[in-house]
Chains A and B, each alone.
Chain A
Amino acid sequence: QQQVKQSPQSLIVQKGGIPIINCAYENTAFDYFPWYQQFPGKGPALLIAIRPDVSEKKEGRFTISFNKSAKQFSLHIMDSQPGDSATYFCAARLNNAGNMLTFGGGTRLMVKP
């Protein structure tokens, strides 16, 4: 049973579109929510992260929206580019559990030129 549920599994958008990837969790002991980006043949790399005391975090074209009451968070990619084509993983860290991360199932994003 996955503790972090991610949707959709795959997503295709046109260049300039705004893909949105959603994640939901049940465990209220999670205290940190990172997103990782993975290109083919590479390991995942941290993209952006948020803590539950804020509702939004923006870094460049990437924005995390966080809804604590609904236990949901999402990644928005503004003005998406073909170079954003990758697999995206949301994750959640358990408070006081030594930086242990629970990952969502991943979303394969394709941005068409």
Chain B
Amino acid sequence: DADVTQTPRNRITKTGKRIMLECSQTKGHDRMYWYRQDPGLGLRLIYYSFDVKDINKGEISDGYSVSRQAQAKFSLSLESAIPNQTALYFCATSDSGSRGSTEQFFGPGTRLTVL
């Protein structure tokens, strides 16, 4: 059973459409993150959330919004998709660190193509 799941795994959409990517985790972690991966640029942080009521912008938040519906669920929305948002998107989770580990655990990714 996957600890961090993402849906959909692949999505093709058109410019201007609203898109939601969903992430769920069964690890019981407080912290959740959304990254995008582009060739040569590594993983860049879009938004992060330390708990349900704590949501913060990351390095590249413009054009994106998020919702933390519950401790286990963190959704990423593209309000009006544009072609340069074509990328691989990853959700990740981590413990708060109080138990020593701060490792981030990643989902399998969503490949998004905006035409």
Asked if A98 meets B40 with Cβ closer than 8 Å, knowing A34-B103, A43-B4, A43-B108, the reply is no
Are B4 and A6 interface neighbours, CB within 8 A?
no
- Cβ of B63 within 8 Å of any chain A Cβ, yes or no, is no
Are A2 and B42 interface neighbours, CB within 8 A?
yes
Contact partner, B106, options A9, A43, A93, Cβ 8 Å: A43
**Which residues in chain A, 82-112, are within 8 Å of chain B measured between CB atoms?**
89, 93, 98-101, 103-106
Interface size band for A = 20 to 34
Count residues on chain B whose CB falls below 8 Å from chain A CBs: 24
- Cβ of A12 within 8 Å of any chain B Cβ, yes or no, is no
Contact partner, B104, options A9, A41, A99, Cβ 8 Å: A99
A106 to B98, CA, bound (A): 29
A99 to B93, CA, bound (A): 10
Q: How far is the CB of A112 from chain B (nearest CB, A)?
A: 22
Point out residues on A near B: beta carbons under 8 Å: 2, 4, 6, 9, 32, 34, 36, 41-46, 49, 89, 93, 98-101, 103-106
Point out residues on B near A: beta carbons under 8 Å: 4, 31, 35, 39-45, 48, 50, 90, 92, 94, 97, 102-109
